[in-house]
Amino acid sequence: MTFDDGPDRINTPKILDILRDEQVVATFFVLGEKVERYPEVTQRIFQEGHLLANHSRTHADFAELSNEEILFLELEPTSAAVERLTGYYPRIMRPPYGSLRQDSVVFLRESGWQIVRWSLDTFDWDSTRNSPEEIIERVKTQHHNKAVVLMHCNGPATIQALPGIIKVLRGLGYEFVPVNQL
């Protein structure tokens, strides 16, 4: 399970409570601006054993940035902010929107970054079209071996669907690990 676009002070703590209660470890792809705004939530993610990974500083579309801008304006400041709070410098990243040119893929890999996308999008970010029940049903019908499930830290539909998603995936025999263990 992966969670993008956090941390925030309302939804992320609720997600963390559910993960703690269900004894699930996840990966949080965090935004640098929000890491700086909500340091205590970032520290909680780390202290509770979840993997912190990089989702950029500002959620910019990387396809519109030079490779140097991606690295020096978006990725490095975010990982440095995480490191100041936790002592851990994330080298795993997910581009916002999954948007990344092929030359950027090569550049980032050569610069030591691991790029992680997703294989099952819950579409939880759009609560106008996706009820918690529809999100759970999407996971039921689209699950597959070693799925990287994409969710977000930005809405009540995620919080309402998360216990059901965990129950469904556990019932199917899934184990929950951070992306660096896949």
Active site residues: 4, 152
CB-CB contact of 78 with 54 (8 Å)? yes
- What's the alpha-carbon Rg for the chain, to the nearest Å? 16
Query: Cα(22)–Cα(19) distance, rounded to whole angstroms?
Result: 5
What's the distance, Cα to Cα, between the start and end of the chain in Å? 11
Q: What are 30's strand-pairing partners?
A: 6, 54
Q: Is 157 helix (H, G, I), strand (E, B) or coil?
A: helix
- Residue 53: Cβ-neighbour burial (10 angstroms; 0-12, 13-18, 19+): buried
Contacts of 23 by beta carbon, 8 Å cutoff, 6+ apart: none
Question: DSSP letter at 111?
Answer: T
